[in-house]
């Protein structure tokens, strides 16, 4: 690429948008702001970059390859914000006391992730999300899932919410080394039954078939309930609490009245390696990958000095903005008036009077 042409482009993993498109983005964001506020969540801002070393143990190979790093003037290696959740966890871990709990926060910010110059479909540039800190178990999980479902309802997208369990996958991998456990999680995500079988046997499973059947399951809560009835105790008592919680959560979301289709999908083991409990992702036809993801991560804040249960989700807004239903809700107003008057002062006074009545007026 010639130097002149490079100056006329922006680096992969960044984005700019303007005028009507930016107006639409701000309008959608404003409405989601209102939903978070209505649930009692307060906004949080995170830094654009932070020290890389503290986050390095939390980044898997794929994440490490996509982040941007740079050196500061003192020679410290810095990480540009690629996942608001991690940056927010550090801020909360440094700032919170036990007396503050529970804490409800939400965020909306740009993120920077490397992508190939020919991969223009990702649009992973803007992350909106919420974190509930200090409420463990079903109550916290249900609150965050219901709030995510309400936002999907507001966006009017025909999304399907998939619920899974990182805790169940960790239980199955108990007898494996770290690298082998990662291989198992990958095999579960790909529904690679042969690799699953080999690794489960390697981890000490006497009969891997019930677990393979479990991790291959995809269906409604009713179908899952029937599946568990047929399975009986074959998956072992250690898995039962995770399965019961997942079924109860699915029923809560399905009966909430503000959700599209919900599927229990045990190939979902978590989009991040710090997930410890329930996990969930939302998918939409025409979008190449999940645009909303979340879950429980009860040990993440401990990394930053504050041990507290946490659950949350994030949504890649720019990824689905073209698919939002009833887009006229966010369009520019149809009527923009011209101020009347002979002089600039007269036009200004006329515009002030009309704007006070809710009209949009240009000088």
Write down the CATH superfamily of domain 13-136+298-332: Bira Bifunctional Protein; Domain 2 (3.30.930.10)
131 marked among binding-site residues? yes
Express each pLDDT in 275-293 by its tens digit: 999 999 999 998 989 999 9
Q: What pLDDT shows up at residue 232?
A: 82
For 159-283, which CATH class?
alpha beta
Q: What is the pLDDT of residues 100-109, one digit of tens each?
A: 999 999 999 9
Strands (E), 18-173: 42-43, 49-51, 69-71, 77-80, 103-110, 126-133, 160-165
* 84 labelled ligand-binding: yes
Closest CA to 86 of 354, 301, 352, 316: 301
What is the H or E stretch that residue 173 is in? none
- Beta strand 218-219 with 262-265: parallel, antiparallel or unpaired? antiparallel
The predicted model gives 312-324 an average pLDDT of 93
- The overall pTM is greater than 0.85: yes
Please indicate whether the domains covering 13-136+298-332 and 159-283 agree at the CATH topology level.
Answer: yes
C-alpha to C-alpha distance for 165 and 169, rounded to whole angstroms = 7
User: For residue 121, what pLDDT band results from cuts at 50, 70 and 90?
Assistant: very low
The response to whether 321 counts as a known ligand-binding position is no
% of the chain at pLDDT higher than 70: 92
- pLDDT at site 11: 62
- Mean of pLDDT values over 87-103: 93
**Token representation of residue 203:** 């981890």
Range 72-92 average pLDDT:
92
In the chain, what are the domain boundaries?
A: 13-136+298-332, 159-283, 338-362
DSSP state of 325: S
What is the percentage of the chain residues whose pLDDT exceeds 90? Answer: 69
Query: Are 164 and 294 in contact, with CB atoms under 8 Å apart?
Result: no
Least confident range of 21-25, 116-120, 146-150, 169-173: 116-120
Torsions phi, psi of 172, nearest 5? Answer: -65, -30
């Amino acid at each position: 690429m010639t130097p002149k042409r490079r100056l006329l482009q922006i680096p992969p993993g960044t984005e700019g948008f303007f005028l009507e498109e930016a107006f639409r983005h701000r309008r959608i964001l404003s409405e989601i702001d209102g939903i978070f506020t209505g649930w009692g969540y307060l906004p949080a801002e995170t830094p654009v970059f932070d020290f890389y070393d503290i986050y390095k143990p939390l980044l898997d190979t794929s994440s490490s390859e996509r982040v941007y790093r740079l050196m500061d003037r003192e020679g410290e290696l810095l990480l540009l914000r690629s996942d608001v959740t991690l940056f927010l966890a550090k801020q909360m871990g440094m700032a919170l006391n036990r007396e503050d709990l529970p804490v409800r926060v939400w965020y909306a910010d740009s993120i920077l992730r490397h992508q190939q110059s020919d991969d223009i479909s990702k649009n992973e540039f803007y992350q909106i999300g919420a974190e509930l800190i200090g409420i463990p178990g079903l109550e916290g999980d249900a609150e965050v899932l219901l709030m995510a479902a309400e936002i999907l309802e507001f966006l009017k997208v025909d999304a399907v919410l998939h619920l899974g369990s990182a805790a169940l996958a960790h239980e199955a991998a108990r007898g494996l080394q770290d690298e082998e456990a990662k291989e198992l999680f990958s095999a579960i995500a790909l529904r690679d039954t042969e690799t699953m079988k080999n690794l489960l046997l390697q981890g000490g499973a006497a009969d891997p078939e019930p677990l393979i059947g479990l991790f291959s399951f995809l269906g409604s809560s009713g179908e899952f309930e029937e599946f568990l009835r047929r399975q009986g105790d074959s998956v072992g008592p250690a898995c039962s609490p995770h399965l019961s919680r997942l079924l109860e959560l699915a029923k809560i979301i399905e009966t909430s009245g503000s959700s599209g289709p919900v599927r229990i999908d045990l190939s979902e083991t978590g989009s991040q390696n710090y997930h410890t409990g329930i996990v969930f992702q939302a998918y939409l036809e025409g979008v190449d990958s999940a645009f909303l993801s979340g879950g429980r991560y009860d040990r993440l804040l401990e990394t930053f000095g504050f041990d507290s249960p946490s659950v949350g989700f994030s949504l890649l807004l720019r990824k689905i903005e073209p698919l939002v239903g009833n887009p006229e809700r966010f369009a520019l107003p149809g009527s923009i008036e011209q101020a009347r008057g002979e002089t600039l002062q007269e036009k200004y006074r006329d515009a002030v009077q009309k704007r006070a009545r809710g009209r949009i007026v240009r000088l």
